């Protein structure tokens, strides 16, 4: 009897040791599963890769510190939803975004999506210019495959950091066939937004990304996307823009309208070589009497002038608050100033005809 109990005792220890070793075995990369989609995560920095001094630090942390492999390792559940691989395209706080970074990212996305072994792409990104990168890619990605931008409002070191689950949802979204041909998507806080309409609406809150009046496309819930709307404007493969051979983008800047404004910013930007100016006007794109002469002179020098609005929602009506036909200005439709700038930059790679540029603002 004693031998039997000693043997079973020994076996129990062996079993426990085996279980312990298994539990602590480094997470071996999951075998590639033929039935799961292949999703590439392109990391660019931001809060989602940020670190703070304590678990309660949600302001005053350092963005763009954690690498793509660590971001992936922080979400072991990814292995159940896709074959995930990652690469660090660059590592910046996104307030420092540049045209060069955009061109590098866009070219990498198009190269990867042309590969049969890539089914979708997730881009981890700072939230400050996330809407701009999303809209830029919405106009230059040449694939029907899903491209999803994701960020976080709390750094990776924070208690209840939102990054890991945002990444999980974004990979599920990018792996879903339902996400194809919907343009570039933005996925945070369980919500799916369209690149054209989404904007950051709060400096610090988790639900900051909204399309205030046009609304988001749907929800992420129970490990899958639920779409309720589709983008109405052309995007990705249906645009006329191609950055594959571009090494730079035309210089386009923004001036802001407000009480007692002067013409100084407009004159300075024209002198600095701006090819286009977005006027973020008050109300329905109204221009102060002190500024209008500067914009007229800019136009006469060949600078394209787009009348936009600082308001954030609604259509800037052509020939409403200014005689655009006579002044040869373009109106921004419903694009906010920072997105109108992106469309004008790309438009200027194709034409400087204001009638053609206005068509583009009514198309994309």
Residues lying near ligand DAS in the complex (CB under 6 A): 46-47, 63, 93-95, 126-128, 151
- Structural tokens at position 76: 């072991």
Residue 257's alpha-carbon distances to 159, 160, 249, 277, in angstroms, are 40, 39, 25, 13
Q: CB of residue 91 vs ligand DAS: minimum separation in angstroms?
A: 10
- Helices 130-140 and 337-347: angle between axes, nearest 10 degrees: 30
Examine the residue annotation and report whether 20 is marked as an active-site residue of this protein: no
Q: Which of residues 49 and 113 has its CB atom nearest to ligand DAS in the complex? A: 49
Closer residue to ligand DAS in complex, CB, 37/149 = 149
Nearest CB to ligand DAS, comparing residues 83 and 169: 169
Q: How far is the CB of 126 from ligand DAS (least distance, A)?
A: 2
Minimum distance from CB of 86 to ligand DAS (Å)?
18
- Reference 186, options 263, 127, 274; nearest CA is 127
Helix 337-347 / helix 354-363 crossing angle, nearest 10 deg: 130
Q: How far is the CB of 255 from ligand DAS (least distance, A)?
A: 23
Active-site hit among 20, 22, 47, 124 = 47
> In terms of DSSP bridges, do strands 147-150 and 209-210 run parallel, antiparallel, or are they unpaired?
unpaired
Instruction: Tell me whether residue 125 or residue 235 sits nearer to ligand DAS (CB atom).
Output: 125
Three-state secondary structure string covering 83-151 = EEEEEEEEEECHHHCCHHHHHHHHHHHHHHHCCCCCCEEEEECCCCCHHHHHHHHHHHCCCCCCEEEEC
Catalytic amino acids?
A: 47
């Amino acid at each position: 009897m004693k031998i039997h109990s000693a043997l079973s005792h020994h076996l129990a220890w062996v079993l426990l040791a085996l279980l312990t070793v298994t539990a602590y075995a480094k997470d071996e990369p999951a075998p590639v599963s033929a039935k799961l989609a292949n999703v590439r995560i392109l990391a660019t920095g931001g809060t989602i890769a940020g670190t703070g001094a304590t678990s309660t630090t949600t302001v005053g942390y350092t963005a763009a510190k954690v690498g793509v492999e660590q971001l992936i390792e922080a979400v072991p559940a990814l292995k159940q939803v896709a074959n995930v691989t990652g690469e660090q395209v660059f590592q910046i706080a996104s307030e420092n975004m540049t045209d060069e970074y955009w061109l590098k990212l866009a070219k990498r996305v198009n190269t990867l999506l042309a590969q049969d072994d890539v089914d979708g792409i997730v881009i981890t990104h700072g939230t400050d210019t996330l809407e701009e990168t999303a809209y830029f890619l919405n106009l230059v990605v040449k694939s029907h495959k899903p491209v999803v931008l994701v960020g976080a409002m709390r750094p990776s070191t924070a208690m209840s950091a939102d990054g890991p689950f945002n990444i999980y949802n974004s990979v599920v979204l990018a792996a879903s066939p339902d996400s194809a041909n919907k343009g570039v998507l933005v996925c945070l806080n369980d919500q799916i937004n369209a690149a054209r309409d989404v904007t950051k609406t709060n400096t610090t809150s988790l639900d900051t990304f909204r399309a205030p009046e046009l609304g988001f496309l749907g929800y992420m819930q129970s490990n899958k996307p639920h779409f309720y709307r589709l983008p109405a404007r052309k995007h990705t493969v249906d645009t006329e823009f191609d950055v594959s051979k571009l090494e730079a983008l035309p210089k386009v800047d923004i001036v802001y309208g407000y009480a007692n404004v002067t013409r100084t910013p407009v004159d300075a930007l024209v002198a600095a070589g701006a090819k286009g100016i977005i006027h973020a006007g008050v109300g329905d794109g109204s221009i102060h009497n002190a500024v209008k002469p500067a914009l007229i002179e800019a136009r006469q020098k060949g600078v394209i002038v787009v009348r936009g609005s600082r308001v954030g929602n609604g259509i800037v009506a052509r020939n409403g608050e200014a005689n655009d036909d006579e002044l040869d200005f373009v109106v921004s439709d419903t694009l906010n100033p920072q997105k109108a700038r992106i469309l004008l930059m790309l438009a200027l790679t194709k034409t400087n005809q204001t009638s053609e540029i206005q068509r583009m603002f009514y198309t994309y």
